[in-house]
Amino acid sequence: MSIIFEERFAAHPKDVKKYDTAQLRENFLIEKVMEADQIRLVYSHYDRYISGGAVPATAPLELTAIDPMKAAYFCERRELGIINVGAKGSVIVDGVKYSVDFKEALYIGKGAKQITFKSESASEPARFYLNSTPAHKELPNRHITLKDANVLQMGSQLTSNERQINQLLISKVVETCQLQMGMTELRPGSVWNTMPAHTHSRRMEVYFYFNVPEGQAVCHFMGQPQETRHIWMQNEQAVISPNWSIHSAAGTSNYIFIWGMAGENMDYTDMDVVQPNQLR
């Protein structure tokens, strides 16, 4: 098993204004996140954020450091957040086994040396979505279920954005250094997420869309509020959102997405809201 990874560099918003569709997708879309018997990672130079997936189908997968990190092991200077979007599996961290079911999360703190992913069934493997950020101190590992989550009910059917936000890796639930993660589920009949849109120059963000029905798609909106762009996305794809960019989407059906954030401010409500009639 080898870890498949790529490196993405930061882009200035003035440059992004000139990007065509292919350039937008090349710089911000993570087209393939999950692949059987592989760990796939993208190392972004926005806040040194790593996102990716691990699908241990026929054999366990071990997470090791990749070259851009210049580290002896993956969590030598990093923390790691994991959310399982597949069948039941487990994560073994330095000999301690954590069973992680569908929609459950695991936080792994700085200093964990050996991290291995396993599935209970090869025919129905776990699908671990991974986010990682630099960490300044060691914190305890923690398994988080939906019962542990801080849950917010947002939006309305009238505005097609009725949704449940499950805050999994935030300060109200578990202590982290800077990583925050959660999962937003849109109600049937609702298609808009994160509307009204917003930016937060103190943090960047990555969205991972899943549970998108076959034949359907999600149109993700990005860019500065007065210079928006869009990227059409399929099931189990992710998109990098710079700190200067909005991050919102509308789907041709309802769906679920995982948001992950990193930066200097841990306040979830720290955002600069942009009303729909202000977008261009």
Consult the annotation and say whether 162 binds a ligand.
no
Cβ neighbours of residue 246 closer than 8 Å, sequence gap 6 or more: 197, 198, 199, 221, 222, 223, 224, 225, 228, 274, 279
- Does pTM top 0.85 for this prediction? yes
For tokens 């954030």, name the residue: 261
Cβ neighbours of residue 19 closer than 8 Å, sequence gap 6 or more: 27, 229
Q: What is the pLDDT of residue 270?
A: 86
CATH number, position 73: 2.60.120.10
- CA 233, CA 218: separation in Å to the nearest integer? 5
Q: What is the pLDDT of residue 1?
A: 64
From residue 9, give the alpha-carbon distance in Å to each of 6, 16, 27, 43, 45. 10, 12, 8, 9, 5
Phi/psi at 203 (5° precision): -145, 150
Q: What is the pLDDT of residue 247?
A: 96
Nearest to 192 by CA among 167, 211, 215, 220: 220
User: In this structure, what token pair is assigned to residue 70?
Assistant: 């210049």
Q: What is the pLDDT of residue 81?
A: 98
Consult the annotation and say whether 12 binds a ligand.
no
Q: What is the pLDDT of residue 171?
A: 93
The distance in angstroms from the start CA to the end CA of the chain is 46
Consult the annotation and say whether 247 binds a ligand.
yes
Consult the annotation and say whether 205 binds a ligand.
yes
Contact 135, 174 (CB under 8 A): no
Domain total of the chain: 1
- What digits encode the pLDDT tens for the residues 16-61? 999 999 999 999 999 999 999 999 999 999 999 999 999 999 999 9
- CA 192, CA 265: separation in Å to the nearest integer? 26
Cβ neighbours of residue 132 closer than 8 Å, sequence gap 6 or more: 49, 50, 51, 74, 75, 78, 79, 80, 81, 179
- Domain extent, residue 92, equals 3-278
pLDDT < 70 regions, the chain: 1
